[in-house]
A and B are shown apart, each in its own frame.
Chain A
Amino acid sequence: MANEVLVLAEQRAGNLKKISLELMGIGAELAAKLGADLTAVVIGNGVEGLAKALGAAGAKKVYVGETGEKYYNTEIYTQAVSDLIKQTQPSVVLAGATALGRDLTARVAARVGAGLATDCTELRIENGKLVMRRPVYSGKAYIELESTAPVAIASVRPNTYGPAAQDASRSAEVVKIDVKAVTPRAVVKEIVKTAGDKPDLTEAEIIVSGGRAMKAAENFKILHEMADVIGATVGASRAAVDSGYAPHSMQVGQTGKVVNPKLYFAVGISGAIQHLAGMRTSKVIVAINKDPDAPIFQKADYGIVDDLYTVVPLLTQEFKKLLAE
């Protein structure tokens, strides 16, 4: 039996999530180093069609589990994935550090006795073994782990790796897997959207966050205007959330969301440890604050020391011009 690197491909409403292709990208790299086959598993309702995209992204084999259920279910997915792992014994299993991935991998690891590292920001092979790097203490330090069990499971933070190249000439063997009749004791009845069509903060490539200096909920309007121009999602600091300027679902930080965009704007945010903990891994950080001593400037790659109420609208205008070119 060939060794496998198995990607848990995530879909919502029949659409493959971006993280799934990111996992295929790093999965291919790890599989090549291990001399293993890259495979993927996709579970859901009417998901067989997704095998094509996963094949084009490099999967040699795609395991397809049809649940006949509209929504994700912890117990059904756990059973199906655990059975598959027991049967195929992959040395590495990759999942997204998403709501689904976090929920599923913890349960699967406990069931099959795998070594799990959640929320990884770097994976590499050393001496034939997977080394998993992940932030701890909300990004104030890192640890590197390895699995001491035969199966290593890593959940990977979205936006950590680029998506796998799609090559339509590649295709995967489709293997149907049994989704056993588990009678789930927790069932999703409905999914209620809480955000618009913008990507969630945890998945966004660009984020514009406002802090205490926004002074009022209605002032977030200028951030939304800028965000719309550059395709960003709007976030907030804890100070802004605690002051009632934004809902908790928008909070970036230690007790909010941990984000990993390629570009992060901290607008009127001083840069408390609490906030830095949630956005420190952003590839490029831009700070806009009129206080030159604000700690955020020590973490920023770029910054403007000036009044946000004049800077942000001008910035929106400049981005508009640039993107119209």
Chain B
Amino acid sequence: MKIVVIIKQVPDTETKIKVKADGSGIETDGIKYVVSPYDEFAIEEGLRLKEKLADDSTVTVVSVGPERTIESIRTALAMGADDAIHVNDPALEGGDSLATARVMAKAIKDHGFDIVFAGKQAIDLDQAQVGPAVAELLDIPQVNVVAKFELAADKTKATVSRRIEGADELIEVSLPALLTCEKGLNEPRYASLPGIMKAKKKPVKQVDLAALGFNASEVGAAGSHVKILKWLPLPERQAGKILKGMETQAAVKELVRLLREEAKVI
């Protein structure tokens, strides 16, 4: 099987996000970039599937992003992926999810695919759009927020479990399909030292717009359907009323009174 995993490089979860004074974006100095955490579940699931099949199946990582993205691609290769496609072109700058999905889908199509795994969302813009948009553009079914995955013996379909509010949907999906992965699906492995060494030699195909057959008006800001007007910092929060050094019973009574009379939420 040709197993494809979509990943995105994002700022580490501990990053303090500072919006630029002119609202045009965030300060990027000193940001540490990592593989988006949900994408790690996708990589792991791809690797587990390959290990289970134990045939000539391959795991290919696909990522759209600038130069630095190669570090995250190497991380995925160090975990065990076989090869990668890195789509990088200055014209992609400022593209929305759909514009990104367009080039992503084309790169996947050119490579060939039997199943595509992605994270349920990237933790930078949290849009949860690229996965389903790629599925639409590839004309394959999608299952989002997958917490369990099992390939059928004949490899033409899979049984998956998708998290919804207060319940799980048990879904039968025919392949090829795109699945976006939720925490709990698996426990992603760490890259081993030999894995890291090997990753340096694994093939990473560098692809630009011309290679995919797009022109600049179809991607980036020009090919987008939404435009970011501005970035805003969080509003300052007023200092709260913190009760301390009081007798517990009195503090509790006061808190209940505040919630009822001042905040009016109980």
Contact = CB atoms under 8 A, between A and B. Distances in A.
Interface in B124-160: 124-129, 131-133, 135-137, 140-145
A273 B225 contact: no
A323 B266 CA distance: 9
Interface residues of A, number: 95
A304 interface: yes
B231 to A, nearest CB: 5
Contacts of B263: 263, 284, 301-302
Interface in A141-194: 141-149, 184-194
A287 B237 CA distance: 15
B68 interface: no
Interface stretch (B45-53, B196-204, B211-219, B240-248): B240-248
B165 A202 contact: yes
A72 B167 CA distance: 13
Given A111-B136, A306-B248, A310-B248, A102 B226 contact: no
B129 A118 contact: yes
Given A142-B234, A147-B226, A188-B169, A322 B243 contact: no
B127 A118 contact: yes
B43 interface: no
A contact patch SS: mixed
A286 B240 CA distance: 9
A193 B165 CA distance: 9
Contact of A146 (B131, B229, B233): B229
B234 A141 contact: yes
Given A140-B234, A185-B173, A115 B132 contact: no
Contact of B242 (A103, A141, A186, A297): A297
Interface of B: 11, 13-17, 19, 26, 37-38, 96-98, 101, 123-129, 131-133, 135-137, 140-145, 161-174, 177, 183-184, 224-234, 237-238, 240-245, 248-249, 251-253, 255-256, 258-260, 263, 265-266
Interface of A: 71-72, 74-75, 78, 98-100, 102-103, 106-107, 109-111, 113-119, 131, 133, 135-149, 184-195, 198-200, 202-203, 206, 230, 248-249, 251, 254-256, 262-263, 273-274, 277, 280, 283-287, 292, 297-307, 310-311, 314-315, 318-319, 322-323
